Amino acid sequence: MRSYNSFDVLQQQVAEAAKILNLDHATTELLMWPQREYKFTIPVRMDNGEVKIFHGYRIQYNSARGPAKGGIRFHPDETVDSIRALSGWMTWKTSVLDLPLGGAKGGVVCNPRDMSERELENLSRAYVRAVVQYIGVDKDVPAPDVYTNPQTMAWMMDEYETLMQVHHPGVFTDKPQQIGGTEGRRDATARGGAVAVREACKVLGIDPTGTFAIQGFGNAGQRIALLHPELLGGGKLIAVCDSRGGIVNPDGMNPKELVTHKLKTGSVVGFPGTRSIPRDLVLELEVDVLYPAALENSINEDNMERVKAKIICELANGPTTPEADLFLHKHGIHVIPDILASAGGVTVSYFEMVQDKSSFFWDEATVQARLDEKMRKAYHTVQEAMREKKVHPRLAAMVVGVARVAEACKLRGWV
Per annotation, catalytic residue among 69, 105, 175, 310 = 105
Rounded CA gap, 164 and 132, in Å? 8
Neighbours of 51 (CB within 10 A): 8
Question: Which amino acid, 111?
Answer: N
Question: Which amino acid, 201?
Answer: C
Max distance between CA atoms of the chain, in angstroms, equals 62
DSSP helix/strand/coil, 197: helix
Rounded CA gap, 97 and 370, in Å? 12
Query: Helices in 173-298 by DSSP H: which ranges?
Result: 188-204, 219-232, 255-265
**Residue 105 annotated to the active site:** yes
Closest CA to 188 of 142, 229, 219: 219
Instruction: With beta carbons less than 8 A apart as the criterion, state whether 157 and 175 touch.
Output: yes
Instruction: With beta carbons less than 8 A apart as the criterion, state whether 190 and 220 touch.
Output: yes
Instruction: With beta carbons less than 8 A apart as the criterion, state whether 258 and 238 touch.
Output: no
Rounded CA gap, 180 and 353, in Å? 9
Question: Which amino acid, 250?
Answer: P
Q: How far is CA 106 from CA 57, 73, 142, 146, 199, in A?
A: 5, 6, 8, 11, 32
- What is the phi/psi pair of residue 379, to 5°? -60, -45
Closest CA to 312 of 326, 291, 297: 291
Closest CA to 375 of 340, 403, 338: 340
Instruction: With beta carbons less than 8 A apart as the criterion, state whether 334 and 356 touch.
Output: no
Which active-site residues does the annotation give? Answer: 105
